[in-house]
A and B are shown apart, each in its own frame.
Chain A
């Protein structure tokens, strides 16, 4: 079990909090203090809207330990409307076929359980099709 590791990431996992670079205005997720665009110091928090579109996707049949009971499930690269790409599961798909360009929005869902049935439940962001 890695309780502190998941606790440390709570702002990112539940709130999609990244950073905005004060030098070049690029918005960064996850936050990384050194701007990947201009190399300047970036420590200004920025909360992303959670809206974006599917850039690419895959349905995983052979899952890593911790995720096997959920297979098959779909993971996407989501292009957030503010710019960055995020790797995340898609959820609430129903019968809707996934397509590149599909509008999606962030929701909070259970990712997995860390260890046996008495261990912590890890929650975080997933993305679902935008409800019209």
Chain B
């Protein structure tokens, strides 16, 4: 297998883009990545997306995106892994380039969510879970995470406000990300007073939906000579049961553990070597569980990292440095690509006030469902 480098990145602002369609957003991100890479063609197009069929009445995004970005004619497919679609698309593009099947690939994550009323988006998001045995019982996707959070608080004795640092850090970092959905500083008081969605998860525990697209341009590393290269040092995917209730241990993200252990092995690093970690903070509870599964905290102690101030850009393990899902926003199928774009920005040193000093090794972890698909990528600057 060949070593693969990320040559170009592109992203749109995440927002309620009333004036832009799914294809407009895709083209904007794709052209930005092509321009950043200094290329005009790509060997293949890999589109990460969750709900275009439900929300936008549009499937077959592969040729749609290839056609509208001027890359008509080659290999182009859509990859679905619910909220993990972005990383799944990257992994597919990566395998194509690493194997030698393609000499370049454009990976795009896109989600256009706000064309429908929230009740329909809420129902569409729930399709990440088990349709017959979870969704039909009336549980929303937020509700599934709320069930996990309630039990976690019960088992380990945490209070709701102990989770506030995850949201506060994300919002503080997003102030400096021009592509972020929310530019609003929040306090513990805001966090505690926020409107309830599904107890104990309130609005400030949860990431906002939004419209957005992000893109990456992949090439074989040995095709680049001289200068700084951003290498994909590891890519590992793992799965767990689709239904949360089918897991022997709901409070541990087994698929995160498996995928990050494999990623650490591939990259030859451990948690202590990770300079920046863009984790999947769809809800504050998921930040705690990801930190625990990836070896940054003991079980039940992930919350402590936030309370001890270890998660900021100069902390022991900087997370959500560009705002995370919480404040950058969570255009579901695009999120995994945004995370990797942001890790690239950190390794390039482009993050201004939230730059992690001399970041050389960065990790991104994207989750589909309540832990069913978990994909970890590690990037290195050299």
Contact = CB atoms under 8 A, between A and B. Distances in A.
A73 B200 CA distance: 14
B133 A60 contact: no
A102 interface: no
Interface in B99-157: 118-120, 122-123, 126, 132-140, 142-144, 146-148, 150-151, 154
A100 B154 contact: yes
A58 B123 contact: no
Contacts of A12: 133
A15 B288 CA distance: 38
Interface residues of A, number: 35
B288 to A, nearest CB: 15
A124 interface: yes
Contacts of B201: 58
B147 A60 contact: no
A87 B139 contact: yes
Given A59-B198, A68-B119, A75 B133 contact: no
A112 to B, nearest CB: 7
Interface string A80-95: 0000111111000000
B369 interface: no
Interface residues of B, number: 37
Interface in B180-238: 195-201
B134 to A, nearest CB: 5
- Of B126, B134, B139, B140, most A-chain CB atoms within 10 Å: B139
A61 B137 contact: no
20 contacts: A30-B132, A30-B133, A36-B246, A56-B154, A57-B147, A58-B146, A58-B200, A59-B198, A60-B140, A63-B119, A64-B122, A64-B123, A64-B135, A64-B138, A64-B140, A66-B138, A77-B151, A84-B245, A87-B139, A124-B137
